Each structure stands twice: as structure tokens, then as C-alpha cells.
């Protein structure tokens, strides 16, 4: 696990000092070593966290004649099988690590070599004879990559702060991106918050050659090819075996390894599989809150005791908000998933004991674990009602208000009711939105509204929705989430939280084999009425305690409702009503004050307030301040 940077110029040499500065800005991702490769017109850099081949695997890695160089952020799980095949083809290896297989695969297969890789990765490969840069990202988007093409010069980096070490990368804010941020809580790929800066999308290879930039998507799940299920028990066994294989693949490590344990279904299943596959007690790490309804530590403790793990716990207090400036700096874009707070603390705790941690990420997106899936199926059934009835129902639902609990039955009913008059993708997008289209329009000043295309945000959902391979509504929503929410929110959150502490996170539920198996299971086996993850729960029964399998999903929720009415009340007013914030010309003062006052009066606006807080803090860090140049240390 590492951080990578680079630049390729069509005219003139690459400045070695720039590559060093970009690397220095990523030192937290890979504190163990730095490597650079700079030659006429091209430069690569790597900050390495040593996990496999600790002593001999420093990068860049070269082909036998040194004409091809590569830097890798991530892990290639099938590198041993690939190495055997490549050695039989006559290739000579100098290291025992995973990165070197990429160079030799490229020599055999060209840019299409990425299809042979099983892992989580973003890599950059420079082919000097062809003057070709090849950059690729893993199938689901575990590892990030930002890039900017300006006047024939392509610069790229694992994090925004490193990319902005290049003074030629623009820092002009893109209004459409901030509109999407308020709609989804993150800026969806390929956009970033800055005009002219982009994210490489998951499962995509990018080639820069002869001044031309091309993209190719090399993988996607197929929800249209379904299993013919005659014995549900057989499906359960296939799920368990696929999970066991995925976990074993992710236990390859030359450094200490453990697991995040939330007490939910997915992380418990991962720990169960780890306990089977290892002879030593699994080291597990959990985090909780003092507020009882948000605290899952007792459930995690139950699983830890069942599997005899070496267990560690941490409790987050309201002063945990003090790390938000650090969060903002690491994310590089406005990011509104408040579970980034406990994720940051959990990563810090875990890194004191291990270098690699497995987690349960991805189970919800494969096996239908979110309430929004069931709610949207219900909403689709309401589409059969006459249009006037649906419009009237939506109007009534809009007047229900909030009882202060975002996950309450009343609030769920309100969201379903409000969506009755909408088409399917818009209904789904609105269900996920901190600020829907009406709320954003009420929030913006007239001047800012004129800069925003109202339909732009929902195209983020409508595009993948209309391209979905599945027929069942549940499968369409799962496929949309795998392409949008999963890489844009969940995986970005975990990557930044862990890599900020030089911790590698691995996700067995994101194994492509397991994901395709889940995609091929009939939709009705995943969601039944309001019962979620049906087939996964059945598969795990007898392996995981029933109390864990049958309790309601809680998620990594943060007690912002209480914090914003208590210890952090003044902080929200001070930041969001500061003249600096209001003078940006984006948000109306009366609308912001109305949110804050309404929350104090009993409505639950905590998610919206947090979303605006993170936006304002990002603007102070990345828009108001001049770019901070990282101080490079000597390479090596």
C-alpha cells in the first residue's frame, strides 16, 4: 500500500524537485521508502508502505532492460500465479514482491495486462521506447487516482493535495461538482471539485501517448446472467466458500495483520473466516460512542469472544470533531460521510498494533443491505397509482416534517411518500440526497443558482441506471451503487482514513469472484419485503451468532444530532454564519440560519449541517489558502 505520483510532458523535461514535492505530500501513505524515476519528459514517484517483500520490493520496478518502469499503490493478490506463468515464458524476476508482475505482464499483453490482475490497485507504467504512459485503477475503485491534463502535460497523484503541488494544476472551483456534493455528500467521478482536475474511474485504463489521452473500461459486473437455483442451501455453501477464498487471498502479508470488527454481519463473517484460516488468534479492533443507541461495542465484543480474538476497543467523544481539519486536508475534496470520524479514529487505534486490516466493506452493495433498497421497491409499487393520487400523496408526505430521528419510521415514510411523483432513478437519487433539488434551490443565492444545471446531479444516477445489466429493480440499484456510491463514498472514506495512518485496508467482500456470484443470485433471494440480505444471512446462519444476524442494521452512525445541540452547537453557528462563509456568494444566510435554528428546535438537520460544515472547511483549506508546498526529503 502506497501513494504514487507522476508527470509526463510533451515539451520539455520533468522537474525532479516537483516529483519530490508530490511524494512528500503523500509520505503518510508510505513512510517506509521513497523512489523516483525521472528522465526526459517523464517522472514517476512512489511513497511505499512495505507489506510484501519488505526488504527487496522498493519501487519503481523495472523490466529486464529498464525500458519500462512501474509504480504501484495497492496489492496484487494473484501475483504468485502470474509470476509462475511469466517465468515459464522466459521473464526474469529480481524481487519477491507483487509489483514486478505488472512490468512483465505489460511486456506480454500491453495495456490490456490489467485484465489479468486480481487485487486493489492504482498503478502508473512508463514505456520509454513508445513514450507511453499507462495508468489503471482496480475493478471496484479501492485505490484512488487524480489527474490533470494541461497544455500537453499530464500530472497525476493518489491524493488531491499531492497533485496540487504542481503549480500548473488549476484551482478553480467547479460549481457543478459542488452541486453534486450537496446532492450526494461526495463529488462523483470523473469530476472533482476543481475544474480541469479529474478522477480516474474504477475498472478503467488510461493511456497517454503522442499527446492523446484515451480511456477504456475493462470490467463490469453482469446482473443479467442469473443462477438457476434449485437448492438454496447450495447457494449458501457457494457464498461461504467464495468468502473463505477471498479472505485467504487477503491474508498474504509479511507484516502484522488484523481486522476491523463492527459487530455487524459483514465484518463478523470476515473475522469468522480469518479465524478458520489462521492458527493464531485474530487481532480485532472496534470503535464506539458513549451514546448507547450508536454504540455497537457490545455486539463486536460478543463476536470477538466467540472466535477467541485478541480484541481492542476505542470510544469516540464529541471532541473527536477536532480532527475535522485533518480530515479535510486528507480528502482534498468536500466529503460529507460523518462516519469518516470513527473510521479515522479506528485506523489510528489499529495502526498501533498491525499494518494490514481486513474489513467488511462491500457486503451491503452486493447482497442488498440498505433500507433504501426496500423503500424504493415499495415506491415503485406506488407508481401503479394514478398520477394525481401520487402527486397528492407526495404533497402530504412533504408536510410530515421530521421527528429528530433520521432512521425513524416516520422519516422513512416521509421519504417514500415524497418520492411518489418521481421517476425511478430520480426517486433513488433523492432518497440518498442530503439536499434534494428543491432544498438546493432554496439554499443557493440567485447568482449561484444561475451557475448550476439542475439536472446535472441526477444524471450521476440516471446514466448508470439506464446502462444497468439487470432487469430487477433491486439489481439495478445494486449496480448503480457499485458504480457510484461504493467508490465515491465508502471506499474513498476507508482509503483516506487508513492511509492517513499508514494502514492498509483489505475488503474480502469486494473480491470480484464473490461480487459476480452475488450479482448472479436472483434478486428475490437478496431482498424480501423489508428483510434485507436474506441469502447472505441464510448462508452465515450457524457460523455467525443469530443475535448478530437478526438484529437491525445500525451502520457506522455518528451522534451528530446530539452533538450539534450540545457541545458543538456554537461551533456550527460560528463556522456557517461567519462573514467569510457568507461572502462566498453561494448560500443564502437566511436558509443556513433556518437549518441551524430548526435543528435546535427539534428537527433533525444534522446531516445537512455536517454537509455544509465540511464544504466550508474545505473551501478554507483548499480555496482560500495558497497551495502549501511540501518539503521534500532526500529520496531513499
Residues annotated as catalytic (active site), given as ranges: 2
- DSSP string computed for 271-293: HHHHHHH-SSPPEEEEEEESSGG
Element (DSSP H or E) covering residue 184: helix 175-184
Q: Are strands 146-150 and 283-289 parallel, antiparallel or unpaired?
A: unpaired
The residues with which 35 forms a beta bridge, in sequence order, are: 46
> At 323, phi and psi to the nearest 5?
-85, 0
Distance CA 392, CA 90 (A): 72
583 touches 603 (CB < 8 A)? no
Residue among 130, 63, 66, 111 nearest 91 (CA): 63
Look at the chain and count its residues: 636
Element (DSSP H or E) covering residue 195: none
Element (DSSP H or E) covering residue 477: helix 473-483
The three-class DSSP label of residue 259 is strand
Distance CA 345, CA 350 (A): 9
43 touches 36 (CB < 8 A)? yes
Sign, CA torsion 527/120/558/194: negative
Q: Are strands 132-137 and 204-209 parallel, antiparallel or unpaired?
A: antiparallel
Distance CA 491, CA 505 (A): 10
The three-class DSSP label of residue 413 is helix
Amino acid at each position: 500500500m502506497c501513494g504514487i505520483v507522476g508527470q509526463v510532458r510533451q515539451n520539455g523535461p520533468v522537474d525532479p524537485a516537483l516529483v519530490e514535492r508530490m511524494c512528500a505530500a503523500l509520505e503518510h501513505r508510505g513512510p517506509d521508502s521513497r523512489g523516483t524515476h525521472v528522465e526526459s519528459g517523464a517522472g514517476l514517484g512512489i511513497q511505499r508502505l512495505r507489506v510484501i517483500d519488505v526488504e527487496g520490493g522498493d519501487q519503481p520496478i523495472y523490466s529486464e532492460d529498464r525500458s519500462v518502469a512501474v509504480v504501484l499503490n495497492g496489492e496484487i493478490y494473484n501475483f504468485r500465479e502470474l509470476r509462475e506463468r511469466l517465468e515459464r515464458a522466459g521473464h526474469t524476476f529480481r524481487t519477491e514482491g507483487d509489483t514486478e508482475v505488472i512490468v512483465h505482464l505489460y511486456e506480454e499483453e500491453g495495456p490490456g495486462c490489467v485484465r489479468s490482475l486480481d487485487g486493489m490497485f492504482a498503478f502508473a507504467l512508463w514505456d520509454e521506447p513508445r513514450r507511453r504512459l499507462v495508468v489503471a485503477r482496480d475493478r471496484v475503485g479501492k485505490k484512488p487516482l487524480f489527474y490533470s491534463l494541461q497544455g500537453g502535460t499530464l500530472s497525476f497523484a493518489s491524493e488531491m493535495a499531492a497533485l496540487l503541488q504542481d503549480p500548473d494544476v488549476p484551482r478553480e472551483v467547479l460549481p457543478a461538482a459542488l452541486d453534486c456534493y450537496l446532492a450526494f455528500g461526495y463529488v462523483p467521478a470523473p469530476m472533482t471539485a476543481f475544474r480541469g482536475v479529474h478522477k480516474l474511474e474504477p475498472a478503467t485504463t488510461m493511456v497517454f501517448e503522442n499527446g492523446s489521452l484515451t480511456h477504456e473500461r475493462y470490467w463490469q459486473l453482469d446482473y443479467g446472467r442469473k443462477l438457476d437455483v434449485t437448492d438454496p442451501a447450495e447457494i449458501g455453501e457457494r457464498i461461504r466458500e467464495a468468502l473463505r477464498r477471498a479472505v485467504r487471498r487477503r491474508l498474504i502479508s509479511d507484516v502484522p495483520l488484523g481486522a476491523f470488527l463492527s459487530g455487524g454481519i459483514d465484518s463478523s463473517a470476515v473475522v469468522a473466516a480469518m479465524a478458520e484460516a489462521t492458527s493464531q488468534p485474530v487481532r480485532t479492533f472496534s470503535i464506539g460512542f458513549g451514546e448507547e443507541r450508536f454504540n455497537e461495542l457490545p455486539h463486536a465484543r460478543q463476536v470477538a469472544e466467540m472466535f477467541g480474538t485478541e480484541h481492542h476497543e476505542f470510544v469516540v467523544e464529541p471532541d473527536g470533531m477536532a480532527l475535522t481539519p485533518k480530515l479535510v486536508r486528507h480528502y482534498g475534496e468536500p466529503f460529507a460521510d460523518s462516519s469518516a470520524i470513527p473510521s479515522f479514529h479506528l485506523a489510528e487505534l489499529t495502526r498501533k498494533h498491525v499494518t494490514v486490516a481486513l474489513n467488511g466493506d462491500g457486503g451491503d452493495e452486493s447482497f442488498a443491505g440498505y433500507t433504501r433498497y426496500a423503500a424504493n421497491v415499495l415506491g415503485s409499487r406506488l407508481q401503479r397509482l394514478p398520477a394525481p393520487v401520487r402527486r397528492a400523496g407526495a404533497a402530504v408526505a412533504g408536510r410530515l416534517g421530521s421527528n429528530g430521528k433520521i432512521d425513524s419510521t416516520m422519516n422513512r415514510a416521509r421519504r417514500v411518500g415524497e418520492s411518489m411523483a418521481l421517476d425511478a432513478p430520480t426517486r433513488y437519487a433523492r432518497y440518498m440526497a442530503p439536499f434534494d433539488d428543491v432544498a438546493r434551490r432554496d439554499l443557493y443565492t440567485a447568482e449561484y443558482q444561475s451557475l448550476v444545471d439542475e439536472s446535472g446531479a441526477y444524471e450521476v444516477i440516471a446514466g448508470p441506471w439506464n446502462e444497468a445489466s439487470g432487469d430487477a429493480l433491486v439489481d439495478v440499484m445494486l449496480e448503480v451503487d457499485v458504480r457510484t456510491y461504493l467508490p465515491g463514498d465508502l471506499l474513498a472514506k476507508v482509503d483516506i482514513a487508513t492511509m492517513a495512518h499508514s494502514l492498509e485496508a483489505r475488503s474480502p467482500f469486494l473480491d470480484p469472484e464473490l461480487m459476480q456470484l452475488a450479482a448472479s443470485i436472483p434478486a428475490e433471494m437478496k431482498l424480501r419485503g423489508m428483510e434485507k440480505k436474506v441469502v447472505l444471512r441464510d448462508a452465515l446462519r450457524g457460523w455467525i451468532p443469530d443475535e448478530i444476524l437478526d438484529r437491525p442494521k445500525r451502520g457506522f452512525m455518528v451522534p451528530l444530532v446530539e452533538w450539534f445541540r450540545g457541545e458543538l452547537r456554537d461551533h456550527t453557528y460560528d463556522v456557517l454564519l461567519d462573514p467569510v462563509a457568507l461572502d462566498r456568494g453561494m448560500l443564502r444566510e437566511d436558509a443556513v440560519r433556518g437549518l441551524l435554528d430548526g435543528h435546535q428546535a427539534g428537527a433533525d438537520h444534522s446531516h445537512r449541517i455536517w454537509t455544509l460544515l465540511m464544504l466550508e472547511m474545505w473551501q478554507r483549506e483548499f480555496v482560500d489558502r495558497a497551495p502549501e508546498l511540501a518539503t521534500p526529503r532526500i529520496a531513499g
